Amino acid sequence: MIRRAGILPSIYQPPIAMIKPKLIKQFLVEPGTEVNLKDYVTDWTETDEAKELGTDVIKDRASLILEENRKHLDSAQELLYASDTHSVLLIFQAMDAAGKDGTIRHVMSGVNPQGCQVFSFKKPSAEELDHNFLWRYMKALPERGRIGIFNRSYYEDVLVVKVHPEWLGPGQPADPDHRFWEKRYEDINNFEKHLSRNGTLVLKFFLHVSKDEQKRRFLERLTNTEKHWKFSGADLEEREHWKSYQKAFADALSATSTKRAPWYVIPADRKYVARALVADIIATAIQDLKLEFPKVSPEKMALLDAAREKLEGKDKDKDQKPQS
Return residues touching Mg ion (CB under 5 A): 96
Sequence-ordered list of residues with C-beta below 8 angstroms from that of 282, at least 6 positions apart, any chain: 69, 73, 88, 90, 107, 203
Shortest Cβ contact with ligand AMP: which residue? Answer: 156
Please choose, out of 12-20, 108-116, 151-159, 173-181, the segment that lies near ligand AMP by the rule CB under 6 A.
Answer: 151-159
Distance in Å, CB of 155 to ligand AMP, minimum: 9
- Closer to ligand AMP by Cβ: residue 79 or 161: 161
Distance in Å, CB of 255 to ligand AMP, minimum: 17
**Residue 53 in contact with residue 47, Cβ under 8 Å?**
no
Shortest Cβ contact with Mg ion: which residue? Answer: 96
Question: What CA–CA distance (Å, rounded) separates 89 from 141?
Answer: 7
Q: Work out which of 72, 86, 146, 152 binds ligand AMP, going by CB under 6 A.
A: 152
Closest CA to 263 of 320, 323, 322, 192: 192
Question: What CA–CA distance (Å, rounded) separates 133 from 128?
Answer: 8
Question: What CA–CA distance (Å, rounded) separates 247 from 296?
Answer: 52
Site residues (CB under 6 A) for ligand AMP, limited to 156-175: 156-157, 160-161, 167
Site residues (CB under 6 A) for ligand AMP, limited to 115-144: 121-124
Q: Is 262 in the site for ligand AMP (CB under 6 A)?
A: no
Distance in Å, CB of 271 to Mg ion, minimum: 17
Torsion of CA 206, 145, 87, 28, to 10 degrees: -40
Question: What CA–CA distance (Å, rounded) separates 93 from 165?
Answer: 19
**Residue 265 in contact with residue 27, Cβ under 8 Å?**
yes
Residue 135: name its binding partner from Mg ion, ligand AMP, none (Cβ under 5 to 8 Å by kind).
none
Residue 160: name its binding partner from ligand AMP, Mg ion, none (Cβ under 5 to 8 Å by kind).
ligand AMP
Distance in Å, CB of 223 to ligand AMP, minimum: 19
Within 13 A of 98's CA, how many CA atoms are on the CB side? 23
The residues facing 92 across adjacent strands are: 151, 205
Residue 20: name its binding partner from Mg ion, ligand AMP, none (Cβ under 5 to 8 Å by kind).
none
Residue 156: name its binding partner from Mg ion, ligand AMP, none (Cβ under 5 to 8 Å by kind).
ligand AMP
Distance in Å, CB of 273 to Mg ion, minimum: 22
The residues facing 204 across adjacent strands are: 91, 263
Site residues (CB under 6 A) for ligand AMP, limited to 230-259: 234
Residue 73: name its binding partner from ligand AMP, Mg ion, none (Cβ under 5 to 8 Å by kind).
none
Residue 161: name its binding partner from Mg ion, ligand AMP, none (Cβ under 5 to 8 Å by kind).
ligand AMP
Distance in Å, CB of 138 to ligand AMP, minimum: 14
**Residue 91 in contact with residue 285, Cβ under 8 Å?**
no
Site residues (CB under 6 A) for ligand AMP, limited to 94-113: none
Closest CA to 274 of 49, 46, 28, 103: 103
Residue 97: name its binding partner from Mg ion, ligand AMP, none (Cβ under 5 to 8 Å by kind).
none
**Residue 67 in contact with residue 180, Cβ under 8 Å?**
no
Site residues (CB under 6 A) for ligand AMP, limited to 175-234: 234
SS3 116: strand
Give the interface with ligand AMP as residue ranges (CB under 6 A): 121-124, 152, 156-157, 160-161, 167, 234
